């Protein structure tokens, strides 16, 4: 069982010829609305990848709250731990250019008021807690402590990286997932520098798997003395917005099912690639059979 403790947003997406520079306005022909938020995205991605998933988080008492939950509800994610709080739901404003690259501004809304106490009674020995960085770091830190005491595996996608140092939490983390820029930010806070390979070498341990995603170049990972790397399949990207969350959801689902790390990474890479083929962070999350088919082709 996977429990996701994280953000729930509604994404407002505009396609543009190119992304704006500072102080510049660009126009697109229309906008689209998609459920989003890194927590909700990863919950849906893990569910579509075959896992049993519950979501713990919050929406506001506005017109956006139910829209933000629609995809998870349809997919069968357990939403009994999602609370409706006074005020606004989280919103993300996303611009996407012709190459599929994006710029994102997030209004936290109810996500800023989630509490780790809501996890009480929902963390079990052998289950997996999935966390990101779009909720207050103090609550993430508390959630990690709770999971550690309960014997629940901790899967932490440190995105975005908080202003506070994350190093004190790492001893309790079983799977750490970051992209290249996040790896550099965490290393910098520790007074370190170097390549993604150096980051894996520094933070991987017998009890902790460290994964650095490299976009179109695939993924690097390490656990104990084992080092792994897989290239991403060649694709024509339409929208990269949900790729990282699809990767995390599929990886978490595979690890929760006790699949070997090699296979779990391949399924994560496959899910991330497939997610680039459609617009929207959640609508692009691939199904289990499609992930498995593409993962079989990754060597």
Residue-wise pLDDT for 6-25, tens only, equals: 999 998 889 899 999 998 99
Chain CA centroid to CA 243, Å: 9
* Residues forming a β-bridge with 177: 157, 211
Ordered structural domains, the chain, with CATH: 2-20+30-295 (3.40.1190.20)
pLDDT value at position 8? 98
Do 154 and 171 contact (CB within 8 A), yes or no? Answer: no
Angle formed by the axes of helices 196-203 and 180-189, to 10°? 60
pLDDT value at position 131? 98
Show contacts of 220-229: CB within 8 Å, 24+ apart.
220/196, 221/261, 221/265, 223/261, 226/261, 227/200, 228/261, 228/262, 228/265
Residue 16's H or E segment, with its range, is: none
Do 276 and 71 contact (CB within 8 A), yes or no? Answer: no
Listed as ranges, residues in the chain with pLDDT below 70 are none
Look at residues 215, 216, 180 and name the one whose alpha carbon lies nearest to residue 198.
180
* Angle CA 68–7–135, to nearest 5: 155
Do 286 and 246 contact (CB within 8 A), yes or no? Answer: yes
pLDDT value at position 73? 98
Residue-wise pLDDT for 42-96, tens only, equals: 999 999 999 999 999 999 999 999 999 999 999 999 999 999 999 999 998 889 8
pLDDT value at position 83? 98
Q: How far apart are CA 8 and CA 193, in angstroms?
A: 33
Residues with a catalytic annotation lie at 245
pLDDT value at position 238? 82
């Amino acid at each position: 069982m996977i429990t996701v403790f994280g953000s729930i947003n509604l994404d407002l997406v505009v396609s543009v010829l190119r992304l704006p520079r500072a102080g510049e306005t660009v126009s697109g022909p229309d906008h689209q609305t998609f459920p989003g938020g890194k927590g909700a995205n990863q919950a849906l991605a893990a569910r579509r990848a075959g896992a049993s998933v519950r979501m713990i988080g919050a929406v506001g008492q506005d017109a956006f709250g139910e829209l933000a939950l629609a995809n998870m509800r349809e997919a069968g994610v357990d939403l009994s731990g999602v609370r409706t709080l006074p005020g606004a739901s989280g919103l993300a404003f996303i611009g996407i250019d012709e190459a599929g690259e994006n710029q994102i501004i997030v209004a936290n809304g109810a996500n800023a008021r989630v509490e780790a106490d809501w996890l009480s009674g929902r963390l079990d020995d052998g289950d997996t807690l999935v966390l990101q960085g779009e909720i207050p770091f103090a609550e993430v830190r508390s959630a990690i402590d709770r999971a550690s005491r309960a014997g629940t595996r901790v899967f932490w996608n440190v995105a975005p990286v908080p202003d506070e140092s994350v190093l004190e939490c790492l001893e309790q983390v079983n799977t750490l997932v970051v992209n290249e820029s996040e790896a550099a930010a965490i290393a910098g806070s520790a007074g370190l520098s170097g390549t993604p390979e150096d980051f894996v070498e520094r933070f991987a341990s017998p009890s902790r798997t460290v994964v650095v995603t490299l976009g179109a170049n695939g993924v690097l990972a390490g656990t104990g003395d084992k080092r792994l790397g897989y290239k991403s399949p060649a694709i024509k990207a339409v929208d990269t917005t949900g790729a990282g969350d699809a990767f995390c959801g599929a990886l978490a689902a595979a690890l929760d099912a006790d699949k070997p790390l090699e296979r779990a990474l391949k399924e994560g890479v496959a899910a991330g690639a497939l997610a680039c083929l459609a617009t929207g962070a959640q609508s692009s999350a691939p199904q289990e059979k499609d992930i498995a088919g593409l993962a079989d082709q990754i060597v």
